[in-house]
Amino acid sequence: MPALRRLAPRAAARGSILCLVAVVGLLPLAAAGCVIFPAAQAEAGKPQPHRQQAEGVVWQPLGTWAGSGSTQSESFIGNSGAFRVRWEASEAGAAAGELRVTLHSAVSGRPIVTAVDVRGAGQGESIVSDDPRVYYVQVDSSNLDWRFTVEEGVFGTVK
């Protein structure tokens, strides 16, 4: 029994040393957690800088027409109501020519907006807008060969 009594204090001392090492080793970690965790909470509560996102437009072709004289296009759907009309005209006769390109409602036939109204040869671009609907284009022209493209603007966020 005396041998057991001598071992007991050593085991108790060894256990307390291990406990002391564990406490001393974990104390800095616990302290660091107390400092880091509130900082992380403060960062989470702050509004984060907002990434700048730009609004943009992409032009999708709806149709291209070419000819001389007056004509009417087939119907097409304009979902956004925003159109870009790119046009060019060249002289086809001795007299100065005219070109007028008008978007009409395909339902009622009424003119919505005149996109091009020029005299003589040239080229250009027009941006026009209206409500989404079904359209057709009426071309009124004399003494000019013409070509134009109607494109629809599709709007969105550029990431």
Q: What is the DSSP string of 111-126?
A: EEEEEEEEESSEEEEE
Whose CA is closest to 106, among 70, 130, 140? 130
Would you say the pTM of this structure is higher than 0.75?
no
Residue type, 121: A
Residue type, 35: V
Q: Which distant-in-sequence residues (6+ apart) come within 8 Å of 136 by Cβ?
A: 72, 73, 74, 75, 76, 103, 104, 106
Rg (C-alpha) for the chain, rounded Å, is 39
Tokens of 16: 């307390």
Cα 99–Cα 105–Cα 108 angle in degrees, nearest 5: 125
Tens place of pLDDT per residue across the chain (159 aa): 555 444 445 545 555 554 444 444 544 544 445 444 555 555 566 666 666 778 889 999 999 999 999 999 999 999 999 999 999 999 877 788 999 999 999 999 999 999 999 999 999 999 999 999 999 999 999 999 999 999 999 998 877
- Count how many residues are written for the chain: 159
Q: Is 81 helix (H, G, I), strand (E, B) or coil?
A: coil
Q: What are phi and psi of 110, to 5 degrees?
A: -75, 150
